[in-house]
């Protein structure tokens, strides 16, 4: 027998049926249906993120259990700042976050959910700045722009480390910069948002033995691939060393099947919680237990996000060889299959092989400028056929090996890009390639 939404609401209400009845005030209730209908029509203007033909940005549909749990929690609308605002949802957040930490090999930790990776990374760099005051933050030139922006907001010194031909942090360049001193934190990105490149965390950690610095892992996009069994050798080595980092960021609203916004920041040493210490007697009075607001820079936070994550991980445990990890492995296989088809097609060229589930390629043309213009036309033609790709500008040096005769009349080249986050993408690779091929034929003839 299928459980309906009404059954679930009734089950929730049983817990509060001892309260005296009352009539809730719902302003303009008689006009709700027409407003919701108008809302549905307005939403038609969005891209079809839920469909396999959307293969552009990092947008993965939430699991139905996450949507159902989120909606159920919104009947109460808990606030996970203090236990007074979200007692059950705070407990569920602590459990869900502990499961994320355990996925990386941490038995003890300090952490909480955030609105997303930006806030999570801000907290990680803020803690680092308190532990290493006056020192410089390093991240690769392909790391997310948020690190440079956050450093500016916090008044921290920030520098970019060049990358190698695969878009990963160049360890030789990093070593040279570390030798000059003054570095407090190195950000290792496990899955850059542009190329999906995995920084060589294992080699970065080896440098920490010689140069004393904190290691922050930005795995907002790629973190869940720690569970995948089909990574390449280099990526596997990096993910196998995550437990040695000082802090980690991961976004459940990317590969974790959650609604926006749901990020998470984790610290290996629980003692860093002392840095957050503050007093708020009007919210922290009901319990001596830890209020999540005591270890967070954000105040009000949606308890519904924690409930949705808890329910999802209850249904799909974060274990290797499980149903959840199988979905990640399908996305990885989809990227490998699409990249193989594109590489075998003389009309295209791939600057790097995918390390996770992002595929980047360029159409062959006489020069970098001509290839960029053709990529834009292919992107437009594909969209007209309801295949939604993405565009990504990368340095032409990434093509040095794969495309040695490229006329480099520009420093960058506009490439086509796909993020194959949906497990369903694996079954749609032939259709995706067909639509890419058709769009390329149309764009070339234009």
Predicted model pTM = 0.94
List the CATH code of the domain at 323-445: 3.90.1150.10
Closest CA to 368 of 402, 397, 399, 410: 410
In sequence order, which residues have a C-beta less than 8 Å from that of residue 193 and are 6 or more positions away?
A: 58, 144, 220, 221
Predicted confidence pLDDT, tens digits, the chain (446 residues): 456 777 888 999 999 999 999 998 999 999 999 999 999 999 999 999 999 999 999 999 999 999 999 999 999 999 888 777 788 999 999 999 999 999 999 999 999 999 999 999 999 999 999 999 999 999 999 999 999 999 999 999 999 999 999 999 999 999 999 999 999 999 999 999 999 999 999 999 999 999 999 999 999 999 999 999 999 999 999 999 999 999 999 999 999 999 999 999 999 999 988 888 755 544 444 444 566 777 788 888 899 999 999 999 999 999 999 999 999 999 999 999 999 999 999 999 999 999 999 999 999 999 999 999 999 999 999 999 999 999 999 999 899 889 999 999 999 999 999 999 999 999 999 999 999 999 999 999 98
Domain ranges of the chain: 72-315, 323-445
- Could you tell me where the DSSP H helices lie in 4-141? 5-14, 32-42, 64-73, 87-103, 117-131
Residue 39 makes CB contacts below 8 A (sequence gap 6+) with none
Domain 72-315 CATH assignment equals 3.30.70.360: no
Dihedral sign of CA atoms 202, 207, 210, 211 in order: negative
> What does the block give as tokens for 69?
């749990």
Domains 72-315 and 323-445 share a fold: no
Burial of 382 from C-beta contacts in 10 A (0-12 / 13-18 / 19+): buried
Provide, for the chain, the percentages of residues in helix, strand and coil under a 3-state DSSP scheme, each rounded to the nearest 5: 45, 15, 40
Tokens 């369903």 sit at which residue? 424
């Amino acid at each position: 027998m299928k459980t309906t939404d009404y059954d679930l609401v009734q089950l929730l209400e049983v817990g509060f049926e001892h309260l005296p009845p009352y009539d809730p005030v719902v302003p303009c209730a008689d006009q709700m249906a027409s407003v919701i209908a108008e809302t549905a029509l307005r939403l038609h203007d969005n891209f079809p993120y839920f469909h396999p033909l959307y293969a552009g940005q990092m947008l993965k549909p939430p699991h139905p259990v996450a949507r159902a749990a989120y909606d159920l929690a919104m009947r109460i609308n808990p606030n996970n700042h203090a236990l007074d605002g979200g007692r059950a949802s705070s407990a569920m957040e602590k459990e869900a976050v502990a499961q994320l930490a355990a996925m990386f090999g941490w038995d003890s930790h300090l952490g909480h959910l955030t609105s997303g990776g930006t806030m999570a990374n801000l907290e990680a760099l803020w803690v680092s700045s308190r532990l290493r005051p006056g020192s410089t933050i390093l991240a690769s030139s392909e790391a997310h722009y948020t690190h440079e922006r956050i450093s500016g907001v916090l008044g921290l010194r920030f520098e970019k480390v060049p990358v190698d031909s695969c878009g990963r942090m160049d360890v030789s360049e990093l070593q040279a910069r570390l030798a000059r001193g003054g570095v407090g934190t190195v950000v290792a990105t496990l899955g850059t948002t542009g190329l999906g490149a995995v920084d060589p965390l294992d080699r970065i950690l080896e440098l920490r033995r010689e140069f004393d610095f904190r290691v922050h892992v930005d795995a907002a996009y790629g973190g869940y691939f720690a569970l995948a069994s089909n990574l390449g050798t280099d990526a596997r080595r990096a993910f196998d060393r995550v437990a040695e980092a000082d802090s980690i960021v991961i976004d459940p609203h990317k590969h974790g099947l959650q609604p926006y916004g749901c990020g998470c920041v984790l610290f290996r040493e629980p003692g860093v919680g002392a840095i957050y210490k503050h007093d708020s007697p009007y919210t922290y009075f009901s319990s001596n237990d830890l209020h999540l607001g005591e270890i967070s820079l954000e105040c009000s936070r949606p308890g519904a996000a924690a409930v949705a994550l808890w329910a999802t991980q209850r249904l799909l445990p974060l274990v290797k060889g499980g149903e959840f990890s199988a979905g990640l492995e399908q996305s990885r296989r989809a990227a490998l299959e699409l990249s193989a088809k594109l590489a075998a097609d003389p009309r295209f060229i791939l600057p790097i092989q995918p390390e996770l589930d992002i595929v980047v390629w360029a159409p062959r043309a006489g020069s970098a400028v001509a290839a960029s213009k053709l990529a834009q036309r292919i992107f437009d033609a594909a969209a007209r056929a309801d295949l939604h790709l993405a565009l990504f500008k990368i340095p032409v040096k990434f093509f040095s090996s794969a495309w040695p005769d490229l006329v480099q009349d520009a420093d960058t080249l506009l490439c086509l890009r796909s993020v194959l986050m949906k497990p369903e993408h694996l079954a749609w690779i032939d259709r995706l390639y067909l639509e890419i091929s058709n769009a390329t034929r149309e764009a070339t003839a234009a």
